[in-house]
Chain A
């Protein structure tokens, strides 16, 4: 059986990759994917713990996260398409109309 710590390390690595991508990348799509990556890194740790402790609560949480992520993806992608249509760019630094 694979030990719990392996799952947790993989989860941490996935989350860190998501954070790094979120911070470094300028493309909105990539940033969006990084956020998904972070969510799924966390999901992985939830299911790992659920399996380890034989508790279902962790798996239920994962479903909730997936639902929220799906909703977010739907709204987020719609916004991205709207932004692309108006500004013809996906570079986040150029989407700064509200900035002082």
Chain B
């Protein structure tokens, strides 16, 4: 028997923080809000570390029953927490990176009037994310899944007085709803065929089934439906459109929710359901194709963006594509490995971008930055590390995980690998483009107008020269930079894979002869990363006039890329407009106005008209009353006679 770990404390602590800040924060001071906002996630992180320290002495998977929930005729779903190697990795990433971003947020959000609200939402998000990660059944996971969607909606629309932020939150929520619909139907199918949603029971029931190689069966259907859900949450084609818009939220939110944790929930869910996917090769192929396409597609859009956060957003979509590619080729542990390293370096990139935005007073356009490295050295250094990490330069974190994925993909199909390595090149290029545009060259933010005054081009509350962020923001950057530096080392010698092996099964023994190939592929990954670096250096440092010329010579194609291939416009024309038109013309003007309203209105009108006519009988004229009596009795008599005759 395992000793009780009191795992329930880990999700409950941030919930308590959210409740305290949410209900009492308005009246308390910023210091008070900060203490509560940090203490509870910090305690959750500490508890997660304590759990991790006890981890090796546990018999896994460790399950902790908390409370009954649903028990009807053989179907049970309880509030039970589930801990195995996979949940432990997610637990540490979510609480650890989450805690760092909470610290950072103190500096970033200090001047915001909604300070307490921000921390309440952020803590609420942690609660739901931890519920998602620690659930022992799909239904509890779904609660967390919807909850993080809610927190994401609240935080994207945090500055809700700004129209674009409000509609971006709405868009995220609605697009996620489409994915959740697929997820939910997948769950219904699971209940129908296996009578359970508990991970253990479902996977035990699936294991003896034969692999659906011949045709698509129920497992394939379930797998694809779960993938639809994952597509929504993890921003994969065709449901990725909400993530770039989600950058309307405050930058720490982008770092925590839309880079490090929430968007990886889909990857976690697919990895958690690996037994189902392994029995449905067709679903697995779908996952791999969607992942590969998304990785490539989003990366190409990233090249032409000028908003620093949009570049990172498309980069996130692309990296999530890598994770799905890994899951799709059956390398679930590689996917989770990339999830972890990505949480480090992408969290760092967003926080660094936030620090840079903070430094130049709210400007997000990279064309108006430049030369920041002499102003904000720490941000520059940490962001360089993150860029090197995501570009795949050894020995930083991104190299190990990305190379692992590409190697696994190569073993399954060379097509995945080829697209993956092209994507790696593009990734390296756009990330160094971002770095060079932001930190190198001359500062382009201030403009001298005709009167010789130095004016800020964009932001109203100008504060002179770019300045370094406070230490409370820089320290999390440094910690994440260290993690981005060394985080990949846990993957050397398949240690990470071996750690997760009890969950995903042991990796197949790779033939010795292929080690040469592995080295060659590794060399190629590094080569394309360096090539991307060099190209970005050439275009954005040596010859800054070249990019514009290239863009001009590409003409329409460049415009298409810069406008994100007009996907938003396409969706607007294909789905949004018909929906709005249909709702307006058919449902509103047709059904609501002409049927529902008309029924009520017309019956009232009819009653009024009839009464209007009948009213004239009561004229007050005695003789007309007598007449009516005579007519009435005549009718009655006629009726009686007629009945008698019949």
Find residues 26-79 in chain A having any chain B CB closer than 8 Å to their own CB: none
Majority SS of interface residues in chain B? Answer: helix
Q: Closest chain A residue to B629 by CB distance?
A: A19
Instruction: Please indicate the chain B residues that have their CB under 8 angstroms from the CB of A19 in the complex.
Output: 626, 630
Nearest CB on A from B628, distance (A): 10
Cβ of B623 and Cβ of A23 under 8 Å apart? yes
Find residues 578-629 in chain B having any chain A CB closer than 8 Å to their own CB: 620, 623, 626-627
Find residues 622-646 in chain B having any chain A CB closer than 8 Å to their own CB: 623, 626-627, 630
Nearest CB on A from B645, distance (A): 14
Alpha-carbon distance A23/B629, docked complex (angstroms)? 11
Cβ of B620 and Cβ of A99 under 8 Å apart? yes
Cβ of A23 and Cβ of B630 under 8 Å apart? yes
Cβ of A23 and Cβ of B626 under 8 Å apart? yes
Alpha-carbon distance A22/B622, docked complex (angstroms)? 11
Alpha-carbon distance A22/B630, docked complex (angstroms)? 11
Nearest CB on B from A15, distance (A): 10
Across the A-B interface, how many residue pairs have beta carbons closer than 8 Å? 10
A100 within 8 A of B: yes
Instruction: Please indicate the chain B residues that have their CB under 8 angstroms from the CB of A23 in the complex.
Output: 623, 626-627, 630
Instruction: Please indicate the chain B residues that have their CB under 8 angstroms from the CB of A22 in the complex.
Output: 623, 626
Residue-by-residue, is A84-100 near B (CB-CB < 8 Å gives 1, otherwise 0)?
00000000000000011
Q: Closest chain B residue to A99 by CB distance?
A: B620
Alpha-carbon distance A22/B620, docked complex (angstroms)? 17
Instruction: Please indicate the chain A residues that have their CB under 8 angstroms from the CB of B623 in the complex.
Output: 22-23
Nearest CB on B from A39, distance (A): 15
Q: Closest chain A residue to B622 by CB distance?
A: A92
Among A19, A99, A100, chain B packs the most CB atoms within 10 A around the CB of A19
Nearest CB on A from B623, distance (A): 6
Instruction: Please indicate the chain B residues that have their CB under 8 angstroms from the CB of A99 in the complex.
Output: 620
Alpha-carbon distance A19/B625, docked complex (angstroms)? 12
Q: Closest chain A residue to B623 by CB distance?
A: A23
Nearest CB on B from A27, distance (A): 13
Alpha-carbon distance A23/B623, docked complex (angstroms)? 6
Find residues 313-351 in chain B having any chain A CB closer than 8 Å to their own CB: none
Instruction: Please indicate the chain A residues that have their CB under 8 angstroms from the CB of B627 in the complex.
Output: 23
Instruction: Please indicate the chain A residues that have their CB under 8 angstroms from the CB of B626 in the complex.
Output: 19, 22-23
Find residues 152-171 in chain B having any chain A CB closer than 8 Å to their own CB: none
Alpha-carbon distance A100/B630, docked complex (angstroms)? 25
Alpha-carbon distance A23/B627, docked complex (angstroms)? 7
Nearest CB on B from A47, distance (A): 20
Instruction: Please indicate the chain B residues that have their CB under 8 angstroms from the CB of A100 in the complex.
Output: 620
Alpha-carbon distance A19/B634, docked complex (angstroms)? 11
Find residues 1-23 in chain A having any chain B CB closer than 8 Å to their own CB: 19, 22-23
Alpha-carbon distance A22/B628, docked complex (angstroms)? 13
Alpha-carbon distance A22/B626, docked complex (angstroms)? 8
Nearest CB on A from B407, distance (A): 102
Alpha-carbon distance A19/B623, docked complex (angstroms)? 10
Q: Closest chain B residue to A26 by CB distance?
A: B623
Alpha-carbon distance A22/B623, docked complex (angstroms)? 8
Q: Closest chain A residue to B627 by CB distance?
A: A23
Nearest CB on A from B618, distance (A): 12
Instruction: Please indicate the chain A residues that have their CB under 8 angstroms from the CB of B630 in the complex.
Output: 19, 23
Q: Closest chain A residue to B633 by CB distance?
A: A19
Nearest CB on B from A88, distance (A): 21
Residue-by-residue, is B461-499 near A (CB-CB < 8 Å gives 1, otherwise 0)?
000000000000000000000000000000000000000
- Extra contacts besides A23-B627, A23-B630 (5): CB < 8 Å: A19-B626, A22-B626, A23-B623, A23-B626, A100-B620
A-B contacts, 10 listed (Cβ < 8 Å) = A19-B626, A19-B630, A22-B623, A22-B626, A23-B623, A23-B626, A23-B627, A23-B630, A99-B620, A100-B620
Return the 8 tightest CB-CB contacts between A and B, nearest first. A19-B630, A23-B627, A23-B623, A23-B626, A22-B626, A99-B620, A100-B620, A23-B630
